[in-house]
Chain A
């Protein structure tokens, strides 16, 4: 459990770490991108008084408190693709260019901007 400010701080730290990961580690790119998104989402949910107990709980809470289709699709995709990246062999992990373009530049960027607009 954390305050919105604490989650924002962690999201910023995760984003800085994400920027240091090379193309050699697509699985970790996907994983850190997802956990950066988790902190942005938790920041938003904390602002509504919700503190997620599990990934399932967070997905349901996001739909309930922020029923924005694009936001939910972005989070779901980060969750799902990073899950595959972590648990499947490297050959079946999403390709690094897709992780950078589809996950980070598109979905994570969308969540980051949505969260930033929520703060301001």
Chain B
């Protein structure tokens, strides 16, 4: 196995394609999404529940976050959602700022609260702009969905 060649490819997050109100996994990443779909089954403990979860996760949860990012594009550079392997949903908002953006705190908290009220309890945190390696301090980009921003 040649790690030197494989590592850069693995770092790239799973990309989504947004066609109006519908969202699909980018064709190039579909096999990874399906292969790593074990995340959904382990989160839901049954295949049927997992399929329903993935559908709602994509159409409700990811879409809400995507819209929020678009509304806060001046402050938000990118956004990632690690594939959940348990009941905890995490969201990482990469800011335009290179330091913690206190001006964005209320909006992030409001997003987290509104998702909680829609039965999507999640932990949403902002990370100052930096390198892809910095992101790995907090999560694995290769096992994440990029909801917003240019592919890293």
- In the complex, the chain B residue whose C-beta lies closest to that of A64 is B116
Interface SS majority for chain A = helix
User: What residues of B have a CB within 8 angstroms of the CB of A72 in the complex?
Assistant: 109, 112-113
B110/A95 in contact, CB under 8 A: no
Q: Can you list, as one digit per residue, whether each of B31-49 has a CB less than 8 Å from chain A (1) or not (0)?
A: 0000000000000000000
B102/A76 in contact, CB under 8 A: no
- In the complex, the chain A residue whose C-beta lies closest to that of B87 is A56
Count of B interface residues, CB-CB < 8 Å: 24
Q: Can you list, as one digit per residue, whether each of A61-82 has a CB less than 8 Å from chain B (1) or not (0)?
A: 0010001010011001101110
User: What residues of B have a CB within 8 angstroms of the CB of A69 in the complex?
Assistant: 109-110, 113
**Interface residues in chain B, defined as those with a beta carbon under 8 Å from any beta carbon in chain A:** 88, 98-100, 102, 105-106, 108-110, 112-113, 116, 121, 123-128, 130, 134, 137-138
Q: List 15 A-B contacts (CB under 8 A).
A: A69-B109, A73-B109, A76-B109, A76-B124, A77-B105, A77-B109, A79-B125, A80-B105, A83-B125, A84-B127, A87-B138, A88-B128, A92-B128, A94-B99, A94-B102
